[in-house]
Amino acid sequence: MSELQVTFTRERIARYAEASGDHNPIHLDDDFARSVGLPGVIAHGLLQMGILATVAAEAAGGPDHLRRIAVRFAGMVVPGDTVTFRAEPAGDGKLALTAVNQKGEAVLTKGMAEFAA
Amino acid sequence: MAAVAGRTYPAVRFEIEPDAVAAFATAIGADPADGVPPTFAAVYSLGVTAPQLLGDDEAAVDFANLLHAEQEFEWQRHPLVGETVISRARVASDTSRRGMRFVSFETDTTDEQGAPLSRSRTLFVIREDVRPARAPAP
């Protein structure tokens, strides 16, 4: 089993916005985020998925071994949240993936990966 | 609301530059020495094609009320740093129910010779029963 705990910060979210080119203001601008009904800025789902993929890659024996990864973006992650990312063997080249916040709520669900030897 | 299932978009070329890979790897906590992180597909595949959907007036996807609900990436081969890749996207399905619109958006990425690298599958959910959000303050 591979596991990683990450506390999200505005800086981390802003760095992902820069690196990914996803500058949607819901990730960067509190006032805008509130205007669309969010509590403030939220982390990119794809940032969560990217971190989860690094954990899956470790469990798979390296990133080149990953053949598939899938998630549902089920909950918001806001600055200050600590998320535990986990990959567990699920038999036959498969991994079960989870991401759970400090309140025990799943922020990513239906997480799975496949890997090749 | 326009249903645009089956719509396809023109191929997009993208060069996987070393600096961009390193910045992305650092942002997700991967080791830049490990090459192109698998989910850099969020950039070289989904990232280069999603603007085609979002900028398509006939598809009329309301960006302000759009939720990225599900994502899947699948690879035949991971691209190399410095490689140029080509992505082609399509709307796999487009349905509405109970004030929600569900758009399944798929992007196939190949190398320059046309050999398959990856497929991205995205489910966007768009709320149709709300007014457009205000633009960000200047």
**Tens digits of residue pLDDT in B90-112:** 999 999 999 999 999 999 999 99
CB A66 within 8 A of CB B38: yes
Instruction: Identify the pLDDT of residue A63.
Output: 97
Identify the closest residue of chain B to A68 by CA–CA distance.
Answer: B74
Which long-range CB contacts under 8 A does B10-14 form with residues at least 24 apart? B10/B52, B10/B88, B11/B86, B11/B87, B11/B88, B12/B48, B12/B49, B12/B52, B12/B86, B12/B87, B12/B88, B12/B89, B13/B84, B13/B85, B13/B86, B14/B43, B14/B44, B14/B48, B14/B84, B14/B85, B14/B86, B14/B87
Instruction: Identify the pLDDT of residue B63.
Output: 82
Instruction: Identify the pLDDT of residue A72.
Output: 98
Instruction: Identify the pLDDT of residue B137.
Output: 53
Please check whether residue B43 touches A, CB under 8 A.
yes
pLDDT tens profile A81-111: 999 999 999 999 999 999 999 999 999 999 9
In this structure, are strands A106-115 and A2-7 parallel, antiparallel, or unpaired? unpaired
> Distance, in angstroms, between B77 CA and closest chain A CA?
8
pLDDT tens profile A3-42: 999 999 999 999 999 999 999 999 999 999 999 889 999 9
Please check whether residue B69 touches A, CB under 8 A.
yes
Please check whether residue B32 touches A, CB under 8 A.
no
Pick the residue of B39, B43, B107, B125 with the most A CBs within 10 A to test the interface with A by mutation. B39
Q: What is the mean pLDDT of chain B?
A: 93
Instruction: Identify the pLDDT of residue B128.
Output: 86
Instruction: Identify the pLDDT of residue A101.
Output: 98
Identify the closest residue of chain A to B24 by CA–CA distance.
Answer: A19
Instruction: Identify the pLDDT of residue B136.
Output: 56
Residues of A in contact with B74 (CB under 8 A): 67-68
User: For the whole model, what pTM was predicted?
Assistant: 0.94
> Distance, in angstroms, between B23 CA and closest chain A CA?
6
Amino acid identity of residue B26, one-letter, is T
Instruction: Identify the pLDDT of residue A112.
Output: 98
Q: Quick one: pLDDT band at residue A79, thresholds 50, 70, 90?
A: very high
Identify the closest residue of chain B to A22 by CA–CA distance.
Answer: B47
- Kindly give the parts of chain B with pLDDT less than 70: 1-2, 130-138
Q: Do the interacting molecules here have an ipTM over 0.85?
A: yes
Where does B47-98 have alpha helices with state H?
48-54
Q: B131 Cβ partners below 8 Å, 6+ apart?
A: none
Pick the residue of B71, B105, B106 with the most A CBs within 10 A to test the interface with A by mutation. B71
For chain A, the straight-line distance linking the first and the last C-alpha, in angstroms and rounded, comes to 17
Instruction: Identify the pLDDT of residue B62.
Output: 86
Q: Is B37's CB within 8 Å of A46's CB?
A: no
Residues of B in contact with A64 (CB under 8 A): 35, 78
